């Protein structure tokens, strides 16, 4: 009987250790490939050529289109307000992964340079991830979050900047701190497809109000990614 109890206890310990090792904290996730996937279409440009003294009032005055990725790791940035999450603070074991698709213009104002523009952003908060999961395959991350929520936990938010249209309501639903599961993945994909239709289609664009605004979350150096 004692032998049986010892064997059972040993199995429980092994199972616990295995379970722990099967999950990594958000701060341990390697985002290099995912970042490259988002920014690979960017073209290298000299930022100095885009600087102007006039604040843009219309979309036509913007002169650059970029995808900007910004990452905040809880090991270094714990306690900051997470972009897109309504003031939620970043935990020590979490990572905030943010993607901005923006049309911009850099404006020189006094002794500073400011980025103005329009666009949208997707924000992901990685709390934990199943070990070995391919982070560049967001569909598999969403599936893991839905089927293995004890191992993968990710949340997301969606925002737009300087874009106002009744057409946009049909395509883009702002989200804050929503669960990134299979449904969440679908919402993100349909929303991105929808706003790209607005931005790229000449007829839809004419029915859309574009008001360039100061993008405080993006610095001129970010546009060199």
pLDDT in tens, 198-216: 888 999 899 999 999 999 8
Distance CA 48, CA 40 (A): 21
User: What three-state secondary structure class fits 56?
Assistant: coil
Contact yes or no for 164/211 (Cβ under 8 A):
yes
Alpha helices per DSSP H over the chain: 2-21, 32-39, 74-77, 138-147, 166-171, 182-200, 202-206
To the nearest 5 percent, what fractions of the chain are helix, strand and coil?
A: 40, 30, 30
pLDDT at residue 225, rounded to an integer: 63
pLDDT at residue 59, rounded to an integer: 95
Buried b (16+ CB within 10 A) or exposed e, 60-97: eebebbbbbbbbbbbeebeeeebbbbeebebbebbbbb
Q: Is the dihedral of CA 216, 217, 219, 225 positive or negative?
A: negative
Mean pLDDT taken over the chain: 85
Distance CA 100, CA 66 (A): 8
pLDDT at residue 52, rounded to an integer: 77
**Which pTM does this prediction carry?**
0.84
Q: How confident is the model at residue 45 (pLDDT cuts 50, 70, 90)?
A: very low
Q: What is the pLDDT of residues 81-95, one digit of tens each?
A: 999 998 899 999 999
Q: Which residues contact 16 (CB under 8 A, 6 or more apart)?
A: none
> What is the percent of the chain where pLDDT is above 70?
87
Mean pLDDT throughout 153-161? 94
Higher pLDDT, 5 or 180: 180
pLDDT at residue 90, rounded to an integer: 96
pLDDT at residue 20, rounded to an integer: 52
């Amino acid at each position: 009987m004692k032998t049986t109890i010892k064997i059972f206890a040993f199995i429980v310990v092994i199972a616990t250790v295995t379970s722990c090792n099967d999950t990594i904290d958000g701060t341990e996730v390697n985002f290099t490939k995912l970042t490259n996937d988002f920014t690979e279409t960017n073209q290298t440009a000299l930022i100095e050529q885009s600087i102007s003294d006039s604040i843009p009032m219309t979309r036509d005055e913007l002169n650059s289109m970029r995808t900007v990725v910004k990452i905040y790791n809880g090991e270094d940035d714990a306690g900051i307000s997470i972009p897109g999450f309504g003031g939620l603070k970043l935990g020590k074991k979490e990572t905030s992964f943010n993607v901005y698709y923006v049309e911009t213009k850099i404006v020189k104002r006094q002794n500073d340079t400011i980025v103005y523009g329009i666009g949208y952003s997707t924000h992901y908060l990685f709390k934990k991830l199943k070990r070995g999961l391919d982070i560049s395959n967001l569909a598999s991350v969403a599936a893991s979050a839905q089927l293995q929520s004890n191992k993968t936990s990710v949340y997301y938010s969606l925002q737009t900047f300087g874009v106002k249209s009744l057409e946009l309501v049909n395509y883009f639903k702002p989200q804050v701190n929503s669960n990134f599961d299979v449904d969440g993945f679908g919402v993100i994909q349909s929303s991105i497809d929808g706003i790209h239709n607005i931005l790229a289609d000449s007829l839809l664009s004419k029915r859309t109000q574009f008001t360039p605004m100061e993008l405080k979350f993006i610095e001129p150096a970010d546009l060199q990614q």
